Structure 1
Amino acid sequence: MKPITIAIDGYAGCGKSTTAKRVAQELGYVFIDTGAMYRAVTLFFLRNDIPFDQVNPQMLEALDQIKVGFTLSPDYPFPLVTVNDEIVEGEIRNPEVSGNVSQVAVHKPVRQAMVAQQQEMGKAGGVVLDGRDIGTVVFPFAELKVFMRADMEVRANRRLAELESKGVEITLDEVIHNLQERDRIDTTREESPLKQAEDARVLDTTLLGIDEQVQQVLEWVREVQTARSAQ
């Protein structure tokens, strides 16, 4: 069957990236972690002392220099994030980046630059993208759109476990605060706010494990492909 574009949006800590990676793996599709791309830009700004409280000439100049990509490694099952060909997968997950990424992603020039790169990566189809504006802005005509959500307590505990597994020392209260602040910024920003596309299928992951999330999305993929083949 002709490959489709799968857009997965939703709140942080709902399992978007893990589900998207697994779905891409099952289908033999390319996985594009758009949230990681904004993290990569944030890391570049932090490393180079580029202010991001508002749009400024330094930011605009830097965006022309940033090329975010993904590379495969025999030691890792999923694509690793790169900035100008440097692997930064580990660094973009640290608390400093996590605490600032929404403030970076809120700016229109940043989003325009990353959306252009995302659209170039996914223009041929056969891709799974996860983020916050995939189904509404990046690929509004994606054949399958999924919007993921979960209760805050569940999201926070998932994120805490993820960070602890990477050796990051942080409390549950700090994680909850970070998630609440990210939700506030993501849903209220003027440029490409987080919202559910009208034709998105809602996946509440509060009571679902990763395997169940993946199987649900794969079931929807089969439904879409069957409907397309019958046309």
Structure 2
Amino acid sequence: MSFIVAIDGPAAAGKGTISKAVAAHFGFAHLDTGLLYRAVGAKVIAGAEPVAAARALDPVDLENDSLRTAAVAQAASEVAVIPDVRAALVAFQRSFAGRDGGAVLDGRDIGTVICPAADVKLFVTASPECRAERRFQELSGKGTDTTFETVLADVKERDARDHNRATAPLVPADDAVLLDTSELTAAQAIAAAIKVVAAARS
């Protein structure tokens, strides 16, 4: 029996951390759908055509350590606005969501487009400054040479592109539970999410 948890939100709001923890807590499978677009973006950087790359995507492509770089993130955001790329990845995501045993999918349009009938919808957000600080600390910890101002500008640019794109813009589903993590620790945000999912399953 399937049970779908859709977790959406902007970059660096904490949805990935929350999604993995929720999946582990309930024994559900987890899919970071952003990695699908990053994997396509990485293939485009390597010279592939975006739509062909999306249609040929293999689960093994999601295990590439280089998918977390800023260049790949930028390429991912750019290919994500291509309707044929999105269409090619929708079936992949819906198939994953429908598996037996439950699934948690996190991304930008899970609750609105990919799984509008999900059992639980969460929209995880935080202020741009808070998200930029988290991303800056993450990148700095990996030895990436950048500044907070650069990261903040990138966060705001991605937000604008994600919110304003014609296809599947980043917006909360009408029935999504909003979770603002600006003032929460990771543990507090995870606990809040688990509480929402547990209530829906009872």
TM-score normalised according to structure 2 size: 0.94
Residue in 1 that maps onto 2:77: 102
Shift of 1:167: 2.1
Q: What do residues 25-62 of structure 1 show as CA deviations (whole Å, max 9, x unaligned)?
A: 111111100011111110011012x4xxxxxxx43333
Looking at secondary structure, tell me which structure has more strand per residue: 1
Residue in 2 that maps onto 1:113: 88
Q: Indicate whether 1:139 and 2:139 are aligned.
A: no
Whole-angstrom distance in 2 between the partners of 1:222 and 1:62? 38
Whole-angstrom distance in 1 between the partners of 2:52 and 2:3? 35
Q: Indicate whether 1:12 and 2:8 are aligned.
A: no
Query: Based on CA coordinates, which of the two structures has the bigger radius of gyration?
Result: 1
Whole-angstrom distance in 1 between the partners of 2:133 and 2:12? 8
Shift of 1:116: 1.0
Q: Indicate whether 1:220 and 2:196 are aligned.
A: yes
- Code of the residue aligned with 1:93 in structure 2: it is R
Shift of 1:3: 5.3
Are the counterparts in 2 of residues 94 and 168 from structure 1 also a CA contact under 8 Å?
no
Are the counterparts in 2 of residues 8 and 145 from structure 1 also a CA contact under 8 Å?
yes
Q: CA 1:211–1:3 in 2, change beyond 3 Å: closer, same or farther? A: farther
SS at match of 2:31: strand
Q: Of residues 123, 128, 138 in structure 2, which corresponds to 1:152?
A: 128
Residue in 1 that maps onto 2:27: 28
Residue in 2 that maps onto 1:194: 170
Whole-angstrom distance in 1 between the partners of 2:103 and 2:182? 26
Looking at secondary structure, tell me which structure has more helix per residue: 2
Gaps of 5+ in 2: none
Identity, % of aligned positions: 37
Q: Indicate whether 1:173 and 2:149 are aligned.
A: yes
SS at match of 2:184: coil
What is the aligned residue count? Answer: 201
Are the counterparts in 1 of residues 136 and 147 from structure 2 also a CA contact under 8 Å?
yes
Q: CA RMSD in A?
A: 1.4
Whole-angstrom distance in 1 between the partners of 2:50 and 2:142? 30
Whole-angstrom distance in 2 between the partners of 1:164 and 1:10? 23
Are the counterparts in 2 of residues 37 and 114 from structure 1 also a CA contact under 8 Å?
yes
SS at match of 1:12: coil
- Code of the residue aligned with 1:147 in structure 2: it is F
Whole-angstrom distance in 2 between the partners of 1:61 and 1:8? 27
Shift of 1:63: 3.0
Whole-angstrom distance in 2 between the partners of 1:104 and 1:42? 6
Residue in 2 that maps onto 1:60: 51
Q: Indicate whether 1:41 and 2:32 are aligned.
A: no
Q: CA 1:65–1:222 in 2, change beyond 3 Å: closer, same or farther? A: closer
Are the counterparts in 2 of residues 159 and 175 from structure 1 also a CA contact under 8 Å?
yes
Residue pairs, 1:198-213, within 5 angstroms: 198-213=174-189
Q: What do residues 128-158 of structure 1 show as CA deviations (whole Å, max 9, x unaligned)?
A: 1110000001100001000111111110110
